[in-house]
Amino acid sequence: MASKFRRENGLDYTAGDIVVANGAKQIIFNALMATLEDGDEAILPAPYFVSYPEMVKLLGGVPVVAECPEEDGFRLKPDVLEKAITPRTKWLFLNMPGNPSGAVYSEPELKALGAVLAKHPQVLVLSDEIYEHILFDGRAFVSFGKACPELKDRTLIVNGVSKSYAMTGWRVGYAAGPAPLVKAMSTIQSQSVTSVSSIMQAATVAALNGPQDDVARFREAFERRRNLVVDGIRQVNGLTLPPPEGAFYAYIGCSSLIGRKTPKGVVLEDDTAVATYLLNEGRVASVPGVAYGLSPYFRISTATSDEVLSEAIRRIKAAVADVE
């Protein structure tokens, strides 16, 4: 894994700075368990991955939502970060490309966040980079660790094989960070589940160090599907979708549907009502924006075939056209 970080991210870590767990989720859970005291705050730029606030709460922390609206490209701005930081802030979560928005940060944008963080030495940074290889329009990935090397002693870079290698079921995640934090996370890991199974470890080494042709092939397929979904949703009156810059989701804006009525007379009061309507009447599964901390949106996944996506868009279009 040290060679992966060096080769792909230009980061220098040794084995003692790296921990492996049963998925990026367990990595994040262990990091929070190792660090959070009751009442400690974790800043979550919204829209965020659904598990972040749940893990923070479960471990006694307080999620502090920092809204990153569509007009800011769903990215955290330095002034929004500055306002969210308090003496109780323990963590800032970053996720790029983001689930659900697909937002990616440029190196100057990361450096600007780093400049704010430099003033607040109590804040640790969790950079969830699990979608790093699923990037569109020729973008190159810049790890937070590469952009802000001066924060290395309080940055945890989180990654895993679930997304880049389509190995979700293998349950392997890993992270690199300051040795004392990594040691505490390893102790939690060791006293709870011991380790990641040796079979999964061998498969992960093969994925990370073997031929990478499939990663490029997957990326191309996801970009094609991103285009298919963006083109399709743009033709649906009442929905908006800025092209996702990475990852495999579409976070679709539905503000103009709110307050309107379905053919059965149900008022679409919020994005949960929209997602419920799409499921029950349109037969399309989506997740409402409220789950990600930013409404009104719904998220669909593009990790499925072009045919299924085309059919989903057809159904969404028909269901939305029926709203009065």
Ligand X SMILES: Cc1ncc(COP(=O)(O)O)c(C=O)c1O
Query: In sequence order, what are the beta bridge partners of 191?
Result: none
**Dihedral sign, Cα of residue 125, residue 131, residue 136, residue 141:** positive
Segment interacting with ligand X (CB under 6 A) among 23-31, 32-40, 191-199, 205-213: 23-31
Q: Show contacts with ligand X in window 124-153 (CB under 6 A).
A: 128, 130
Nearer to ligand X among residue 49 and residue 298 (C-beta): 49
- For the record, the structure tokens of 265 come out as 């007379």
Question: Is residue 223 within the footprint of ligand X (CB under 6 A)?
Answer: no
* Total residues binding ligand X (CB under 6 A): 12
- Contact between 296 and ligand X by CB under 6 A: the answer reads no
Q: Are strands 124-128 and 155-160 parallel, antiparallel or unpaired?
A: parallel
Angle between helices 198-209 and 2-9 (to 10 degrees): 30
Q: Which CB sits closer to ligand X, 282 or 288?
A: 288
Count the Cβ atoms, other than its own, within 10 Å of residue 41: 21
The SS3 assignment for 96 reads coil
Q: CB-wise, 218 or 277, nearer to ligand X?
A: 218
Binding residues for ligand X restricted to 46-105, rule: CB under 6 A = 49, 95, 99
Whether a cis peptide bond, with omega within 30° of 0, leads into 149 is: no
| From 25, 90, 154, 226, residue interacting with ligand X (rule: CB under 6 A) | 25
Q: Segment contacting ligand X (CB under 6 A): 1-9, 17-25, 61-69, 108-116?
A: 17-25
The burial class, CB within 10 Å (0-12 / 13-18 / 19+), for 286 is: buried
- Minimum distance, C-beta of residue 97 to ligand X, in the bound complex (Å): 9
* C-beta closer to ligand X: residue 128 or 271: 128
Closer residue to ligand X in complex, CB, 162/186: 162
Q: How far is the CB of 103 from ligand X (least distance, A)?
A: 12
Shortest Å distance, C-beta 318 to ligand X: 29
Complex with ligand X: residue 24 or 200, whichever CB lies closer: 24
| Pair of tokens at residue 25 | 């989720």
DSSP state of 246: B
Taking the CB of residue 58, how many other CB atoms lie within 10 A of it? 13
Report the residue number, 113 or 268, with the smaller CB distance to ligand X.
113
Q: Which of 18, 19, 24, 64 binds ligand X (CB under 6 A)?
A: 24
Handedness of CA 207, 208, 213, 216 (dihedral sign): positive
DSSP 296: S
Q: Of all residues in this chain, which one has the CB nearest to ligand X in the complex?
A: 23
CB atoms within 10 A of CB 206: 12
Rule CB under 6 A: is residue 173 a binding residue for ligand X?
A: yes
Distance (Å, rounded) from C-alpha 155 to C-alpha 177?
6
Residues forming the site for ligand X (CB under 6 A): 23-25, 49, 95, 99, 128, 130, 160, 162, 168, 173
